[in-house]
């Protein structure tokens, strides 16, 4: 019975990952579509053109400092350890202990 539950849990995890990837896909695959009628001085649309958004230049020098990466890793390790201890205590509390008379 536990094998079936583990398989079902693995399938549920994979299904959740697939749903999350599907939800993020439209934003990742978004493209800019040019307006109809072309863009430029020969445009014959009667309404005024909207100004183009300013160009954004990303900074690729440096990145994240090493101490921040180490701090994030240490925080994640502490959170995982605390969660593991809490789950272990909860699991131990659910066990049925035989009583001696």
66 class by beta-carbon count within 10 Å (0-12 exposed, 13-18 middle, 19+ buried): exposed
pLDDT in tens, 71-94: 999 999 999 999 999 999 988 888
Rounded CA separation 13/23 (Å): 15
Residue recorded with tokens 């300013």:
54
Model confidence at 59, pLDDT cuts 50, 70, 90, reads low
Q: What do you get for the CA distance between the two ends of the chain, in Å?
A: 33
Please give the average per-residue pLDDT across 19-40, as a whole number. Answer: 71
Rounded CA separation 95/62 (Å): 52
Answer with the residue of higher pLDDT: 98 or 68.
68
Rounded CA separation 24/17 (Å): 11
Residue recorded with tokens 């009583």:
99
Chain centroid offset of residue 29 CA = 16
DSSP 40: S
Specify which of 35-39, 69-73, 91-95, 97-101 reaches the highest per-range mean pLDDT.
69-73
> What percent of the chain has a predicted confidence (pLDDT) above 70?
70
Domain borders along the chain are 1-31
pTM of the model: 0.36
Please give the average per-residue pLDDT across 53-82, as a whole number. Answer: 83
């Amino acid at each position: 019975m536990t094998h079936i539950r583990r398989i079902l849990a693995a399938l549920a995890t994979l299904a959740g990952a697939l749903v999350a990837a599907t939800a993020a896909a439209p934003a990742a695959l978004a493209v800019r579509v040019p307006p109809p009628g072309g863009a430029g001085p020969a445009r014959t649309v009667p309404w005024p053109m909207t100004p183009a958004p300013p160009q954004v230049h990303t900074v690729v020098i440096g990145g994240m400092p090493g101490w921040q990466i180490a701090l994030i890793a240490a925080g994640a390790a502490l959170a995982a350890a605390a969660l593991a201890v809490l789950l272990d205590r909860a699991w131990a509390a659910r066990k049925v202990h035989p009583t001696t008379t």
